[in-house]
Amino acid sequence: KKIPGMIFAKQRFYQRLDEKLEGILSIEGEIVAASNPQTGVLEQTGIVNQTDYVNIGEVANVRLLPLGTDNFGRDVLTQLVKATGVSLWIGFVAGLVATLIGLTLGLLAGYIGGMMDDLIMFITNLFTVIPGFVMLILISYSIGQESRGAVTVAVVIGFTSWVWTARAVRAQVVSLRNRDHVNLSKLSGHSITHIITKDILPYIASYVVMALILQISLGILAEAALSILGLGPRTTEVPTLGLMMNWAMIYQAHILGKWWAFFPVLITIALVSFSMNLMNTGLDQVFNPTLRD
């Protein structure tokens, strides 16, 4: 009898197991005994009957697992849905941290200039010289697995990803700081904070939104790369897309041909990243109508 949702080899295994159990177990049942450690005498602990075992051929197909299970019998689809939400949340926090750091430093360097600009650009150059992913690995390793929660990993990713945002914001501010409306605001005696927030920031808001979306996409990819190396969030907390890839590698799913353990995760990461970049392109056309032609 063909069992829906079960491969033929596994179906035959359970059918042979049922046949052997029927021969081993009598109608009255078999007594299970264990040795008493104090007296050394066998004592009855229970009885195993044929009815305690379910015939796989008689089980109704009430639920199928479209993506199968992992080595622990957990539903891969359920993990994938949960992991996608957690990875998106990590990417959002990481992107928000990176964008805020880059925006703040870029505004200060671009508008104030002078020594402030030189100092911020010096720090930016240091972060540029050292590869960001290498720095991310070193910081994550130094934190330790017990302290690496989802929030911690997101903040670390954001702390190492702000460089290009700061440079781009600085370039935008430098082109705006000598415009007429900014000079009029200076002559009116407005503070630096007022000029930056009221006269400069609204003009670069569209760029900041697009930078945030790109940072979210990069944050998701960075978390996946870290988790594959075993440096992501601790495995006892929540599943992420990277942790699912890490579990698949640990149990050699790619070698044993268990494609359902890693292929859906790869597709999900690719689709999320593609969606973020597609959204960024669409917003760019909305904010810059000249690009539509």
Both structure tokens of 50: 């044929």
The structure tokens 């690009």 sit at 291
Task: Count how many Cα atoms sit within 13 Å of the Cα of residue 267 in the half-sphere of its side chain.
Answer: 10
85 Cβ neighbours under 8 A, 6+ residues apart: none
Ranges 37-41, 50-54, 205-209, 281-285: which has the least confidence:
50-54
Tell me the CB-side half-sphere exposure of residue 127, using CA atoms within 13 A: 20
User: Helix count (H) and strand count (E) of the chain?
Assistant: 12, 2
Q: What is the pLDDT of residues 147-198, one digit of tens each?
A: 788 888 899 999 988 998 999 999 988 888 888 888 888 888 888 888 888 8
Give the whole-angstrom CA distance, residue 267 versus residue 76: 14
Non-local (6+) Cβ contacts of 130 within 8 A are: none
Helices 76-112 and 163-176, axial angle in degrees (round to 10): 40
- What value, to the nearest 5°, has the Cα angle with vertex 109 and ends 107 and 114? 145
Domain boundaries, the chain: 8-58, 76-292
The pLDDT mean for the chain works out to 79
Q: Which residue type, as a one-letter code, is found at position 44?
A: Q
Task: Look at residue 252 in the predicted model and tell me its pLDDT.
Answer: 79
pTM of the model: 0.72
Fold of 76-292: MetI-like fold (1.10.3720)
The Cα–Cα gap between 189 and 272 comes to 47
DSSP string, 190-211: --HHHIIIIIIGGGGHHHHHHH
